[in-house]
């Protein structure tokens, strides 16, 4: 367990807006591991871009000084949410990032990120390594990830993202179930043919809940009037209605909508977040550590939004508990005021890769992990039993 005195905490308190986490300790990474673990989903998850029955979880480990840090690459098997896949991320980590990382000692998160910038894109691959690195640093310093990044929140508001269902009845059952469990916000996946009527029905049944929708880029500006009809349902937000890489059309749409647009897919870097806010493309941002390339981008995007009074929330990618633990740490930063898609392990899997599993209390909050590093025990025995492939990359010298 992490033991640090209050004085040590005060001394290392990182002010919001100051450069986050400038650790000067040099870390000589000895080995990087990549492992694919198949976890069946309790129920299929359908979005406007496709349906999955199971999640191939891509775990990354980083070893130094006898300690291991854990990260997760959130890419899917097919390039439907973004261009990255498990295949592209394995290639980029194996052939470029891991060697660059092990070529000489790493000094701090910014040092690591700077070394990766020579390679364009592939944010989820980079993030997987940044996650493992930050867990490793936290373990070396004997503190929690939340403390390492300057987290302040102890209990985090949690929402649930509900996939497109075969019937409206099935959806309403899910909504009832998660509200009864205490979840603070319901997000409905929408697409043409599964939108206005569905939202109307959920809103009629629950006039006062926090309700939002996520289109995952299923519409174009031609659907403007159709999307404007959503304004009457008092939604918290409409997430990523237009193209996955668009900012300009979203700005045109936002100017005509009462409802706030929240960008997900379009925000891939700090610069894109700055541009989105400058253009008025959205009023809210969903931060996913994987999509933006790791903590080195997620922390400054949070700070930018915090300074401008733009609420942020932590998005999810159906992560295992390992990615989920990082999401909980991220969501402990002060700007994460809206409920995140960081649902309980049991919402996705029969058994998670960590102990204890992530739990959501009856008041719809989860605890920011306080233990060392991730703050959960990685269940290596169980991971072994569901591993499909595993590979170690050592330093070339």
Give me the residues that bind Mg ion (CB under 5 A), please.
214, 239, 264
Three-class SS state of 133: helix
Determine which one of 154, 189, 258, 308 is catalytic. 189
DSSP 13: -
C-beta of 82: minimal distance to ligand OSB in Å? 9
Which helix (H) or strand (E) segment holds residue 160: the answer is strand 159-162
The listed partner (ligand OSB, Mg ion, none) that binds 84, CB under 5 to 8 Å by sort, is none
Nearer to ligand OSB, 68 or 179 (CB): 179
Given 104, 126, 288, 308, which residue is catalytic?
288
Q: Phi then psi for 51, rounded to 5 degrees?
A: -125, 140
Least distance in Å: CB of 81 to ligand OSB?
5
Q: Which is nearer to ligand OSB, 135 or 214 (CB)?
A: 214
Q: Which helix (H) or strand (E) holds 286?
A: strand 284-287
Report whether the peptide linkage leading into residue 356 is cis, meaning its omega lies within 30 degrees of zero: yes
As a whole number of angstroms, the distance between CA 338 and CA 236 comes to: 10
Residue 24: exposure state from Cβ atoms within 10 A (0-12, 13-18, ≥19): exposed
Please give the distance of CA 80 from its chain centroid, rounded to a whole number: 17
CB of 334 to ligand OSB, least distance (A): 22
- Between strands 210-214 and 237-239, the pairing is parallel
- Phi, then psi, of 146 in degrees rounded to 5: -60, -45
Residue 130, binding choice from Mg ion, ligand OSB, none, Cβ under 5 to 8 Å by partner class: none
Query: Which residue, 72 or 135, is less far from Mg ion as judged by CB?
Result: 72
Which DSSP symbol is given to 247? Answer: S
Residue nearest to Mg ion (CB): 264
What is the contact surface with ligand OSB in residues (CB under 6 A)?
Answer: 81, 161, 214, 216, 264, 315-318, 341, 343
In the complex with ligand OSB, the residue whose CB is nearer, 147 or 214, is 214
Residue number, 109 or 235, with CB nearest to ligand OSB: 235
Q: Which residue has its beta carbon closest to ligand OSB?
A: 316
Clarify whether 126 is annotated catalytic. Answer: no
Q: Which does 81 bind (CB under 5 to 8 A by kind): Mg ion, ligand OSB, none?
A: ligand OSB
Determine the Cα–Cα distance for residues 12 and 24; give it in Å rounded to an integer.
13
Residue 296 binds which one of ligand OSB, Mg ion, none, with CB within 5 to 8 A depending on kind?
none
Q: What are phi and psi of 102, to 5 degrees?
A: -95, -5
Residue 143, contacted partner among Mg ion, ligand OSB, none, CB below 5-8 A by kind: none
Least distance to ligand OSB, CB of residue 9, Å: 31
Minimum CB–partner distance for residue 215 and Mg ion (Å): 8
Q: Judge whether 393 and 33 are in contact, CB under 8 Å.
A: yes
Answer yes or no: 288 catalytic.
yes
Give CA angle at 63 (31, 328), nearest 5°. Answer: 125
Annotated catalytic residues are 189, 288
């Amino acid at each position: 367990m992490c033991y640090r005195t209050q004085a040590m905490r005060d001394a290392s308190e990182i002010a919001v807006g100051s450069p986050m986490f400038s650790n000067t300790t040099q870390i000589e990474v000895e080995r990087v591991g990549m492992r694919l673990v198949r976890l069946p989903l309790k129920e299929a998850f359908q979005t406007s871009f496709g349906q999955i029955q199971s999640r191939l979880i891509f775990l990354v480990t980083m070893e130094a000084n006898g300690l291991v840090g854990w990260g997760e690459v959130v890419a899917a098997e097919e390039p439907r949410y973004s261009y990255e896949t498990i295949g592209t991320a394995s290639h980029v980590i194996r052939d470029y990032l891991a060697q660059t990382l092990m070529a000489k000692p790493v000094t701090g998160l910014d040092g690591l990120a700077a070394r990766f910038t020579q390679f364009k894109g592939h944010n989820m691959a980079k993030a997987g390594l940044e996650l493992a690195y930050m867990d490793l640093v936290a373990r070396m310093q004997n503190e929690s990830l939340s403390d390492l990044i300057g987290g302040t929140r102890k209990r985090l508001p949690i929402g649930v993202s509900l996939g497109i269902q075969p019937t409206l009845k099935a959806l309403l059952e899910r909504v009832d179930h998660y509200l009864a469990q205490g979840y603070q916000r319901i997000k409905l996946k929408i697409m043409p043919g599964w939108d206005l009527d569905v939202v109307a029905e959920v809103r009629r049944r629950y006039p006062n809940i926090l309700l939002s929708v996520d289109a995952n880029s299923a519409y174009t500006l031609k659907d403007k009037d159709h999307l404007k009809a959503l304004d009457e349902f008092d939604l918290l937000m409409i997430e990523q209605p237009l193209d996955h890489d668009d900012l300009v059309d979203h700005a045109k749409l936002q100017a005509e909508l009462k409802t706030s647009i929240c960008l997900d897919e379009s925000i891939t870097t700090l610069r894109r977040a700055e541009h989105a806010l400058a253009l008025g493309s959205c009023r809210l941002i969903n931060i996913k550590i994987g999509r933006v390339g790791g903590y080195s981008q997620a922390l400054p995007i949070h700070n930018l939004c915090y300074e401008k009074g733009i609420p942020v929330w932590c998005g999810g990618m159906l992560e295992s508990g390992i990615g989920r633990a990082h999401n909980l740490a991220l969501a402990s930063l002060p700007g994460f005021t809206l409920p995140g898609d960081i649902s309980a392990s049991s919402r996705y899997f029969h058994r998670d890769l960590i102990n204890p599993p992530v739990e959501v209390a009856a008041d719809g909050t989860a605890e920011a992990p306080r233990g060392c590093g991730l703050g959960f025990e990685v269940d290596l025995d169980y991971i072994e039993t569901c591993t499909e492939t595993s590979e170690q990359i050592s330093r070339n010298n």
